[in-house]
Structure 1
């Protein structure tokens, strides 16, 4: 089962439940606010240790990569260059957290592809927005559009708890 949503779907899920289609289905809602392209902003890195080579970089211990207000944090993060280009992919492993001003995504591993501005988080994935929580096994998140796809985990299902807007 796959669930598709954008950054405002969790907050507005109760209003759009009628749009959900069960079994391989899509669940989408349009974002009312304009977004700036986070992927156009500089990428900053930090860690307890690491190295930079002509093919990329490796960070270990409290490793983090920040772009705009978004932050990727993990036990280790490795960035690789595409031939003749800047960093093309960033792979995070161990205690992975991707944090935006509105969401927190947690998983075991994440791969950020710079060219598509997409981060794919796998493992025991947990997406939170406020009190709302969605869990699964694989999440794909476009950092520019907020479009999110969640696929089932080991139990074969995605699961969530959503609170209507205005509820305590």
Structure 2
């Protein structure tokens, strides 16, 4: 049995970051203007309270396209410290630096910018050409590359990792299921 690098199917999680780590998300997106559209916005000019966006939130920046029913952005010291997208589901799509697409859906996407930890919860599904990851809860620490998913009360984890050789038969279904270690 070959060891699987869990960061490969999960590197896409960083795309949620509006200030994503350059190695994981399309680096050029960070230099693009960010466009935000929502039915309602509630925020304080001094940043003393989180900015709450609701009513069909759409955030785009370069190839990044995030959509949610609600977004909460906390600012500390003039910089975002936490971004939470909530939806039924919240969705995220981005093109990675290598040109491959990434799609993620979850009921809640919570990114702690300060700690560089992302937590996706509720019917999580992450897809990219090299594979998929699905479960109820996925935690990704971008500083260490550590991914934790499944486990007690978090349901089972389902992963499918496609072979590098794209001509390999794709008919086989039923990827790998494993409890969190």
Which one of the candidate residues 52, 55, 59 is aligned to 1:61? 55
For residue 136 of structure 1, report the CA deviation from its aligned partner. Answer: 1.3
Q: TM-score, normalised on structure 2? A: 0.61
The structure 1 segments of at least 4 consecutive aligned residues displaced by more than 6 Å after TM superposition are 142-145
Matches within 5 A, 1:1-168: 18-20=2-4, 27-28=6-7, 35=23, 37=27, 41=31, 43-53=34-44, 54=47, 55-82=49-76, 84-94=77-87, 95-101=89-95, 102-130=101-129, 132-141=131-140, 147=145, 149-152=147-150, 156-164=155-163, 165-167=165-167
Q: Point out where structure 2 has 5 or more consecutive residues left out of the alignment.
A: 12-21, 96-100, 171-181
Count of residue pairs the alignment pairs up: 142
Q: Point out where structure 1 has 5 or more consecutive residues left out of the alignment.
A: 1-16, 21-25
For residue 119 of structure 1, report the CA deviation from its aligned partner. Answer: 3.1
For residue 19 of structure 1, report the CA deviation from its aligned partner. Answer: 1.0
> What secondary structure sits across from 1:18 in the alignment?
coil
- Give the superposed CA RMSD: 3.4
Which digits, 9 at most, give the CA deviation of each residue in 1:36-65, with x for residues without a partner? 657954644211222232333211122023
- By relative contact order (CA 8 Å, sep 6+), the higher-ranking structure is 1
| Structure 2 counterpart of 1:4 | none
Change beyond 3 A, Cα 1:60–1:148: farther
Which digits, 9 at most, give the CA deviation of each residue in 1:141-164, with x for residues without a partner? 56799x572501757421123332
- Once residues 68 and 102 of structure 2 are traced to their aligned partners in structure 1, the CA distance between those partners, rounded to angstroms, is 16
Q: TM-score, normalised on structure 1? A: 0.65
For residue 132 of structure 1, report the CA deviation from its aligned partner. Answer: 3.2
Change beyond 3 A, Cα 1:161–1:40: closer
- Once residues 60 and 146 of structure 2 are traced to their aligned partners in structure 1, the CA distance between those partners, rounded to angstroms, is 20
